Amino acid sequence: MKLVTAIIRAFKLDDVRLALTEAGVSGMTVTEVKGFGRQKGHTELYRGAEYQVDFLPKLKIEVAVSEAQLESALDAILASARTGKTGDGKVFVAPLERVVRIRTGEIDDDAL
């Protein structure tokens, strides 16, 4: 099992959710986050004053998938979140040792 964490642009959420659903992923967690990478923020004008915005709003999506679903989930995220411009985000894949469904006590792949 793997934990896939994707940092994406907020307006791409519906596209990513639809693509993951079509790829067979049954659940996801979404968190509003702020950060910067190569995009490095930007300047904005507010009431005539210019100021630097260092941390840009993004969404963090976390999805637990089986080994068999990993490639299709990655392909779905990459294809649906890409705009081709700096700031599209990143995807991280980490091993997941154990998953337990609280309601039934099912473990690992059965809990997904």
Query: What is residue 46's predicted lDDT score, i.e. its pLDDT?
Result: 66
105 SS3 class: coil
- Reply yes or no on whether the pLDDT at 12 is more than 70: yes
Asked whether 92 and 5 are in contact (CB, 8 A), the reply is: yes
Domain ranges of the chain: 2-111
Structure tokens at 15: 């596209």
How does pLDDT run across 16-25, given as a tens digit for each residue?
A: 999 999 999 9
- Reply yes or no on whether the pLDDT at 60 is more than 80: yes
- Reply yes or no on whether the pLDDT at 52 is more than 90: no
Mean pLDDT for the chain? 89
What pTM, to 2 d.p., does this model score?
A: 0.84
| DSSP state at residue 111 | G
Band (pLDDT 50/70/90 cuts) for residue 72 is very high
- Reply yes or no on whether the pLDDT at 99 is more than 80: yes
**What H or E segment, with its residue span, contains residue 101?**
none
Structure tokens at 105: 């006590």
pLDDT, mean of residues 30-50: 75
Band (pLDDT 50/70/90 cuts) for residue 40 is low
Domain 2-111 in CATH 3.30.70.1150: no
State the DSSP string of 40-94: --EEEEETTEEEEE-SEEEEEEEEEE-HHHHHHHHHHHHHHH--SSTT-EEEEEE
**What H or E segment, with its residue span, contains residue 96?**
none
| Cα–Cα distance measured from residue 12 to residue 80, given in angstroms and rounded to the nearest whole number | 7
Structure tokens at 44: 């904005």
